[in-house]
Amino acid sequence: METHPPKRHLRALISVFDKEASAPLVEALHQLDIALLSTGGTHHFIRSMGIPVQSIESVTGYPSILGGRVKTLHPAIFGGILGRTTHKEDLRDMNDHDIDPIDIVVVDLYPFDQTVKAGASHSEIIEQIDVGGISLIRAAAKNFEHVLVVPGSAYFREVVDLLNKNQGKTTIRDRRSMAAAAMHVSSHYDTAIFNYLNDGTLNVFKESIDKATTLRYGENPHQQGCFYGGSTEVFEQLSGKAISYNNLLDIDAAMGLIAEFPAPTFAIIKHTNACGIASRENIEDAWELALAGDPVSAFGGVLITNTTVDSVVAKKINDLFFEVLMAPSYEDESIDLLKSKKNRILLKTKSFLMPDVRFRSILNGVLWQTSDHKNSIPELWKIQTKKKPGKDEEKDLVFANSVVKHLKSNAIAIVKDLMLLGAGSGQTSRVDALQQAVKKAREGGHDLKGAVMASDAFFPFSDSVEIAHNAGITAVIQPGGSVRDADSINYCNSAGMTMVFTGNRHFKH
């Protein structure tokens, strides 16, 4: 069903990966009497719709070659897109070479990013690098004063509405807007390819996120805020108000913390720090002990667990005012109860691996680092004291080190029986952090005798272990590395305490 449109019929070139998604747009173009020009697979699809369409090959005089790698790269195509119909010189060249203008360019690129995420082979990924499509997009965007570019299936519906509303006509403002969208698609696509191909040889920072959620405000009401990313890949919101900037910070902290614990665990987060966390065989006990860690700070916090919230624990949680509750699943009865307060945010977490890299803006640039996924493994510890940790102490030391890793520095975590008794975080000295943790534990009525302590960094003096010993703490886990490590080790030996070095610092700023 090949046709050759008259010279100044409006013409649209269509080359799309997602052909089904293009059907409404193809139909709209046809109804508006816009002549269609298309490539191989898309050409066959449009013909199957019973709509007249001209093939690229009939324009270029060349077939698709190299397994489809070269189809549209030809002056007859790019001259038609880049030709400025208001420039006499361009019109003369186009007339001399029998090039007809192309007024609309519709492209949907090969799914490179999705192919990488799907774990495809290297050769399959390379074949998903779109050359012709990206060239069409950039050419049409450059000549937006004369050409409308539609750079992906996400824009098809919008363009259908636009064309139908204006009988196929567009304004310079419309075309410039779509050109900006096209360059976004192009840059996002190129960034994904670069990050796949770059083996670290080129030390540059390139990230592109094409999903955005405008937030009510930023960290404070007078600040603007936006989240760039796909939160639906991480959780499903079951109820509650719109998630805020600060909620997202706490959610991120909670997700990172809970990932450390394989046993049923409940944690309470406040301003990105854990104020309560406990592991137990059943979630009810874990919740009660997490709350007992610091019930005052738990008010208005973010709650997270790694197991199902049943109706029994839901009734207990419901008595507390909190901002967010996160769990992988909920019993139906528990959801109904917890939804009773309309602003309360309930999230169903999905299977999700925390990112391998972290970055933040500072000064006039960006800081980049790999994530702190280093875990505490007893087999790799270096026991520094005469007294070795007992079996229960060892479990508590692992637990405490996993908690302190997620507290803001300087940080101390005091743990007993897989429960956080007290935490000191964000302090300007390690002694202050320890004193804060001891104070918190005592205010909660907890017996520190036999408790263990974790520090995110080394002790420069023996004063901290002395304070810990006087409080009843019997075992300490820390990175080690101070020139005065011997002072702390000697004190522990004289006091009958245990001290182990992990060799891994966990600063968090």
pLDDT given for residue 58 in this prediction = 82
Cβ atoms of residues 489 and 466 within 8 Å: no
Residue-wise pLDDT tens digits, 80-135? 899 888 888 888 888 888 888 999 999 999 999 899 988 899 999 998 888 889 99
Contacts 24+ apart (CB under 8 A), 196-204: 196/112, 196/116, 196/125
Give the per-residue pLDDT at 345: 96
**Sheet hosting strand 11-16, strand order edge to edge:** 54-55, 35-38, 11-16, 104-108, 148-150
- pLDDT category of residue 4 using cuts at 50, 70 and 90: very low
DSSP state of 378: G
For the chain, report the end-to-end CA distance as a whole number of angstroms. 66
> Can you tell me whether residue 368 is helix, strand or coil?
strand
Catalytic residue among 142, 184, 188, 339: 142
Give CA 444 to chain center in angstroms: 36
- How many Å apart are CA 72 and CA 55, to the nearest integer? 10
Instruction: Reply yes or no on whether the pLDDT at 379 is more than 50.
Output: yes
Phi, psi of 178 (to 5 degrees): -70, -30
Q: What is the pLDDT of residue 8?
A: 60
CA distances to 107, 189, 503 from 475, rounded to whole Å, are 64, 52, 17
| Orientation angle between helical segments 40-48 and 19-31, nearest 10 degrees | 60
CA pair distance 98, 332, nearest whole angstrom: 69
Which region holds residue 229: left if phi is over 0, alpha if psi is between -120 and 50, else beta?
left
CA distance 71 to 81: 15
pLDDT in tens, 423-463: 999 999 999 999 999 999 999 999 999 999 999 999 999 99
Cα-based angle 340, 341, 344 (whole degrees, multiple of 5)? 125
Whether 142 is catalytic: yes
Q: What is the mean pLDDT of the chain?
A: 92
Residue of 107, 70, 90 whose CA lies nearest to 183 = 107
DSSP annotation string for 412-479: EEEESSSBEEEEE-S-SSHHHHHHHHHHHHHHTT---TT-EEEESS--SSSHHHHHHHHHT--EEEE-
Pairing of strands 452-455, 412-415: antiparallel
Tally of residues, the chain: 509
Digit-coded pLDDT (tens) for 336-375? 999 988 899 999 999 988 889 999 999 999 999 999 999 8
245-255 pLDDT tens trace: 999 999 999 99
DSSP 379: G
Burial 330-361 (b: 16+ CB within 10 A, else e): beeebbebbeeeeebbbbbbeeeeeeeeeeee
Phi, psi of 192 (to 5 degrees): -60, -40
Write the pLDDT tens digit of every residue in 271-319. 999 999 999 999 999 999 999 999 999 999 999 999 999 999 999 999 8
Q: Which two tokens stand for residue 197?
A: 């191909």
pLDDT tens, 156-205? 999 999 999 988 889 999 999 999 999 999 999 999 999 999 988 899 98
**What's residue 285's pLDDT?**
95
Provide the strand spans (E) within 167-321.
Answer: 212-214, 226-228, 235-239, 265-270, 273-279, 301-305
Give the contacts of 461 (CB within 8 A, at least 6 positions apart). Answer: 484, 487, 488
463-471 helix and 485-495 helix, angle to the nearest 10 degrees: 20
Choose, from 188, 271, 374, 387, the residue flagged as catalytic. 271
Give yes or no for a contact between 253 and 379, defined as CB atoms under 8 angstroms apart: no
pLDDT, one tens digit per residue, over 204-217 is 988 988 889 999 99
Question: What is the per-residue pLDDT for 93?
Answer: 86
Active site residue 271: yes
The predicted structure's pLDDT at residue 312: 94
The CA distance from 140 to 138, in Å, is 6
Dist. CA 409–CA 424, nearest whole Å: 9
Sheet containing 301-305, strands listed edge to edge, beginning at the edge strand earlier in sequence: 235-239, 345-349, 322-327, 301-305, 265-270, 273-279
